[in-house]
Amino acid sequence: MNSKIKTIVADYIDYIEFDVSDIDMSQVEEYGIKWGTLHLVMKDGTQISREGSDSQGDYKWPVAEHFYDDEYNPLEGDEEE
């Protein structure tokens, strides 16, 4: 291992799911997602917000590791799977 490594960052895949089965998506004018909440603006001007349900991510194995020095510069040896 490189003695210059001061920080290791592990990347994981996770997702949030939104149930919109009761919404006529053809009537959605625009949407946005922020802080785990789906915000819909309908064509008639009404707004709908839905909280997402997270996937309870599996943190057993990261998809990548990244190594940084004490100034947060990336170091050789980043591992991508």
Token pair 């997602």 is found at 33
Strand 47-51: give its sheet, edge to edge.
28-34, 37-42, 47-51
Instruction: For residues 68-75, give the mean pLDDT.
Output: 93
Residues 1, 63, 13, 70: what is their CA dihedral angle, to the nearest 10 degrees?
A: 20
Q: pTM for the full model? A: 0.63
Instruction: For residues 58-64, give the mean pLDDT.
Output: 87
The Cα–Cα gap between 12 and 17 comes to 17
In this predicted structure, the answer to whether residue 56 has a pLDDT above a threshold of 90 is: no
Q: Specify which residues 42 forms β-bridges with.
A: 28
Residue 79 confidence (pLDDT): 47
CA 17 to chain centre: 11
